[in-house]
Amino acid sequence: MSQNRQIRDVVFVDGVRTPFGKAGDKGIYAGTRADDLVVKCIRELLRRNPGLPAGRIDDVAIAATTQTGDQGLTIGRSAALLAGLPKSVPGFAIDRMCAGAMTAVTTTASGIAFGAYDVVLAGGVEHMGNHPMGSGADPNPRFLSERLVDPAALNMGNTAENLHDRFPAITKDRADAYAAASQRKLAQAYGNGQIQPDLVPVATRKPGQGWTLNSVDEPPRPGTTVEDLASLRTPFRAHGRVTAGNAAGLNDGATVALLAAADTAAELGLPVRMRLVSFAFAGVEPEVMGVGPVPATEKALKSAGLTIADIGLFEINEAFAVQVLSFLDHFGIDDEDPRVNRYGGAIAVGHPLASSGVRLMNQLARQFEEDPTVRYGITTMCIGLGMGGTIIWENPHWTGGTDSKENAA
């Protein structure tokens, strides 16, 4: 029977996220549990998709980079139970650092394509206030004693400075200009109501302050100018080029996506917002982890039978401006190309590590709906310890005619 198995199409049905907060005692999620943020997303997806019986969910994959405390206890399963899903619905945890949610999506999507699942929930959470990056980590001393990696590879800011060294054409001025544009584009997207539909309001309570309903992202700094950014200090290197203004901050937040087999989505009347075409992960030298999206994208394009010219929209995670710019330079894309991060990116909105992959997907799916002239888009990100991940998606709203890539995917 296995010889007759058909690979099934996988579709992105819906995705939501909490507003992203600033990590720390003053952030909106100080005193809030990470697993409760995931629960908010799961419940909202079920509310938004009433045609989906909760019992039809075949698995719940939730990523976290630091899997202890309120991000531990096999968080996919514990969040499923806390969200009130039937006890028959299993769950598991994933860690691929920044690409946690992306890997939760690709792992469960593979199960759908294979026929093991019909419907899944996949996402990620990072409460960097509760769990600072690297907290409790114990890197093997062989990493340094045997020089398996450069010591700089264990600090993401240093890897970004290394990228500037490798690509001297990417100056601090370019990085700052890109960062200011990210803030501007996010502010414009908020003004157009393009961000809000994906947000799940989260009520929080702090001692002496009572309850607050958080319905917008906390990190953005609208109105930021290149002049503002030029004066910021460079914490990773004296006279360096990486600052708090041209890098993503330390953030808290959660995301969850609903994926299904195309035939199951049709059966249940679920919307189809994107179709998965291909995906790839790739490794690079850990000390320049920011270049990871380049080989990952090349692998994904080759698998799909596409070229970079076929991609009409790019959602690139902005861990650092230099990392995005190195990707654009490699593929010959202008810094201000309108296909890239139309709503701004992590420099403005924040990057709660393991959750960010689904934020990219949410934004790409909305842009697909707005722009039916685009057939293919990608979500891509760099990953700590020297990796990159890329997913190519197809726009179900595409209105173009038959082209040479009709059967490529």
- What CATH code is carried by the domain that includes residue 348? 3.40.47.10
Question: Does one domain contain both 39 and 89?
Answer: yes
Q: Active-site residues: which are they?
A: 98, 351, 382
Residue 405 confidence class, pLDDT cut points 50, 70, 90: very low
Question: How many structural domains does the chain have?
Answer: 2
Question: Does one domain contain both 39 and 178?
Answer: no
Euclidean distance between CA atoms 273 and 146, whole angstroms: 48
* Tens digits of residue pLDDT in 276-316: 999 999 999 999 999 999 999 999 999 999 999 999 999 99
Indicate if the pLDDT at residue 3 is higher than 90: no
Mean local confidence (pLDDT), 120-131: 98
- What pTM does this model have? 0.96
Question: Does one domain contain both 48 and 170?
Answer: no
Smallest CA-to-CA distance from 181 within 70, 325, 41, 58 is with 325
Mean pLDDT taken over the chain:
95
Residue ranges making up the domain that contains 154: 148-193+277-393
Question: Does one domain contain both 105 and 69?
Answer: yes
How close are the terminal C-alpha atoms of the chain, in Å?
25
Tell me, yes or no, whether 94 lies in a domain.
yes
Q: For tokens 């040479």, name the residue.
A: 404
Euclidean distance between CA atoms 339 and 380, whole angstroms: 14
Tell me, yes or no, whether 376 lies in a domain.
yes
Q: Report whether 96 contacts 389 (CB < 8 A).
A: yes
Question: Does one domain contain both 90 and 175?
Answer: no
- The per-residue pLDDT for 401 is 54
Question: Does one domain contain both 298 and 371?
Answer: yes
Q: Report whether 166 contacts 288 (CB < 8 A).
A: yes
Based on DSSP, count helices (H) and strands (E) in the chain, helices before strands: 12, 12
Question: Does one domain contain both 38 and 164?
Answer: no
Smallest CA-to-CA distance from 32 within 43, 42, 21 is with 21
Indicate if the pLDDT at residue 224 is higher than 80: yes
Tell me, yes or no, whether 202 lies in a domain.
no
* Tens digits of residue pLDDT in 169-193: 999 999 999 999 999 999 999 999 9
Euclidean distance between CA atoms 106 and 114, whole angstroms: 12
Tell me, yes or no, whether 407 lies in a domain.
no
Tell me, yes or no, whether 71 lies in a domain.
yes
Tell me, yes or no, whether 403 lies in a domain.
no
Question: Does one domain contain both 172 and 88?
Answer: no
Question: Does one domain contain both 320 and 178?
Answer: yes
Indicate if the pLDDT at residue 409 is higher than 80: no
Residues 6+ apart with CB under 8 A from 407: none
Question: Does one domain contain both 331 and 373?
Answer: yes
Q: What is the DSSP letter of 18?
A: P
Indicate if the pLDDT at residue 407 is higher than 70: no
Tell me, yes or no, whether 377 lies in a domain.
yes
57 by DSSP, 3-state: which? coil
- The per-residue pLDDT for 406 is 42
Question: Does one domain contain both 42 and 173?
Answer: no
Question: Does one domain contain both 382 and 348?
Answer: yes
Tell me, yes or no, whether 155 lies in a domain.
yes
